[in-house]
């Protein structure tokens, strides 16, 4: 493999990381901005820092070069072919995510890379090398993840409305329930980091231990949180209730940004790591280590994308689907994080993007059908459906172009 492919791969990986930051920042920050828990400028600044930290320091150190095992590695033995295919996949996924961000619509960066890998497999090995069972699981996730997140967010907001917002002494009720909501927030955060990222694997923490540890931390912090809320929030009535949930929402938004950097840096750096290892070893390996400098490069690219263009998709998810308050925004974050956490433990390839949009719709539906702008929702769904085929066809085009120029 030539040095030219490696250099182009580094450029494409950085470009993909930039696109991931620009499009996916809405997963955690859109509801906080829409509910005015933080400003747009604060959102992109906080997300930029946390995405970089998550990517560089707790990101995936070992990832699948043949993304999500979509293409059967046994039929791809030629290192030059694989390196060229990974480069084409990075370029194809990057251009699709860039186009979606320009249109201010959220798409799954993970599924964009998967679609590109399908195109690579089709053009190099034909239909037989694609693991169609994996592809069908992804198609199923288009339906399952938004509906499940929507249901969770819907139920959470209904619970808040029935137990707190509909009561005459709503602030007193909010204070009484505050240990539960603070504890629940920390439980989701710690359980996600202990069970969903490489951090938990390195610490050797399983499901049972992680759950008990998270419950213990949540119980302690729930009590501490209630004391802090009693001392610091002076406003009463609905304003005081929203202030409580505003603080919780800032916390959950920060968690999603940190987790996003840790999990999605592999979408950009996984294929690049494959190209890098092929350049160094002249051999193909399905599982490849991701050097720290690549994780840092990906984190920097994601942070740059958040800061420079992240506002576009935030505006769509945070303000154009439905009107959000802090209680609604907290319900959105709860639905998104819980859906992704449960699905990841079940081995389902769900998209955080799809879950976040579904949760926003669910909270909107809790106030009636008229509270949701379904024109925006249908447009977003259309982009989800065409992500795989568009990324696949674009990858095939780039592969042939690169093959003609470089091989």
- Decide: 58 and 198 in contact? Cβ < 8 Å: yes
Looking at residue 53, its pLDDT comes to 83
- Span 66-75, mean pLDDT? 69
In the numeric block, the tokens 């499940």 are attached to: 148
* 343-371 average pLDDT score: 84
Residue 197 pLDDT greater than 70, yes or no:
no
| Cα–Cα dist 59/263, whole Å | 6
- Whole-number percent of the chain with pLDDT over 70: 94
Q: What is the pLDDT of residues 259-315, one digit of tens each?
A: 778 777 878 888 898 899 888 888 877 667 778 888 889 889 988 998 999 888 998
How large a percentage of the chain has pLDDT more than 90?
Answer: 37
| Per-residue confidence band for 192, with pLDDT thresholds at 50, 70 and 90 | confident
pLDDT at position 68 is: 56
Question: Whose structure tokens read 């009720």?
Answer: 173
Higher pLDDT, 351 or 224: 224
Please say if the pLDDT value at position 31 is more than 80. yes
Count of CB atoms within 10 A of residue 286's CB? 14
Angle at 212 between CA 208 and CA 217, to 5 degrees: 145
137-185: pLDDT as tens digits:
888 887 888 999 999 999 999 999 999 999 888 988 999 999 999 999 8
Residue with tokens 């250099």: 7
- Other beta carbons within 10 Å of 185: 25
Alpha-carbon distance 172 to 63, whole Å?
Answer: 49
Q: CB neighbours of 392 closer than 8 A, spacing ≥ 6?
A: 92, 115, 116, 118, 119, 122
Q: Has residue 198 got a pLDDT over 90?
A: no
Say yes or no to pLDDT of 64 above 70: no
pLDDT in tens, 98-124: 999 999 999 999 889 989 999 999 998
φ, ψ of residue 166 to 5 degrees: the values are -90, 0
Among 25-39, 93-107, 216-230, which stretch is predicted with the lowest mean pLDDT? Answer: 25-39
Cβ neighbours, 10 Å, residue 401: 12
The pLDDT of 15-33, averaged and rounded, is: 89
Both tokens of 44, joined, read 């992109």
What's the distance, CA 360 to chain centroid? 15
Are the C-beta atoms of residues 330 and 247 closer than 8 Å to each other? no
- pLDDT score of 383: 93
- Rounded to the nearest angstrom, the gap between the alpha carbon of residue 366 and the centroid of all alpha carbons in its chain is 24
pLDDT value at 62 more than 60: no
Tell me what the mean pLDDT of segment 332-340 comes to: 87
Of residues 260 and 221, the one with the higher pLDDT is 221
**Residue ranges of E strands in 38-154:** 62-64
93 in Cβ contact with 116 (< 8 Å): yes
Element (H, E) at 390: helix 374-406
Closest CA to 83 of 361, 278, 364, 296: 278
| Of residues 330 and 25, more confidently modeled | 330
Structural domain for 387, as ranges: 3-406
| pLDDT, tens digit, 9 for 90 and up, residues 364-384 | 998 888 889 999 999 999 999
Q: What is the DSSP letter of 107?
A: -
Mean pLDDT of the chain: 86
Structurally, how many domains does the chain consist of? 1
């Amino acid at each position: 493999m030539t040095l030219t492919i490696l250099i182009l791969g580094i450029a494409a990986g950085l470009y993909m990381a930039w696109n991931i930051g620009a499009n996916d920042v809405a997963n955690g920050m859109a509801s906080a901005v829409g509910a005015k828990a933080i400003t747009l400028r604060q959102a992109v600044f906080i997300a930029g820092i946390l995405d970089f930290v998550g990517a560089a320091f707790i990101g995936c150190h070992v990832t699948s070069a043949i993304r999500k095992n979509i293409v059967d590695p046994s039929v791809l033995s030629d290192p030059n072919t694989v390196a060229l295919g990974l480069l084409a996949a990075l370029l194809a996924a990057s251009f699709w995510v860039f186009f979606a961000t320009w249109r201010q619509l959220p798409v799954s960066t993970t599924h964009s890379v998967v679609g590109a890998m399908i195109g690579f497999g089709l053009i190099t090995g034909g239909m037989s090398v694609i693991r169609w069972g994996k592809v069908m699981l992804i198609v199923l996730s288009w339906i399952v993840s938004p509906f499940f997140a929507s249901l969770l967010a819907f139920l959470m907001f209904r619970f808040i409305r029935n137990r707190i917002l509909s009561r005459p002494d709503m602030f007193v009720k909010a204070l009484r329930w505050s240990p539960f909501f603070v504890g629940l927030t920390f439980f989701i955060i710690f359980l996600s980091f202990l069970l969903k990222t490489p951090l938990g694997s390195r610490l050797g923490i399983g499901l049972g231990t992680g759950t008990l540890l998270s419950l213990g931390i949540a119980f302690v912090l729930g009590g501490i949180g209630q004391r802090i809320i009693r001392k610091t929030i002076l406003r009463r009535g609905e304003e005081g209730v929203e202030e409580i949930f505003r603080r919780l929402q800032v916390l959950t938004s920060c968690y999603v940004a940190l987790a996003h950097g840790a999990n999605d840096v592999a979408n950009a750096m996984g294929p690049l790591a494959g190209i890098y290892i092929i350049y160094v070893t002249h051999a193909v390996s399905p599982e490849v280590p991701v050097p720290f400098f690549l994780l840092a490069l990906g984190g920097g690219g994601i942070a740059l994308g958040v800061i420079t263009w992240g506002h576009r998709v935030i505006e769509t998810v945070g303000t154009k689907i439905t009107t959000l308050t802090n209680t609604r925004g907290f319900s959105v974050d709860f639905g998104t994080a819980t859906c992704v956490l449960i699905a990841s433990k079940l081995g389902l390839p769900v998209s955080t993007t799809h879950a976040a949009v579904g949760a926003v719709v669910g909270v909107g539906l809790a106030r009636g059908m008229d509270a949701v702008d379904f024109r925006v929702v249908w447009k977003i769904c259309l982009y989800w459906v065409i992500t795989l085929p568009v990324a696949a066809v674009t990858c095939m085009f780039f592969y042939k172009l690169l093959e003609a120029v470089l091989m």
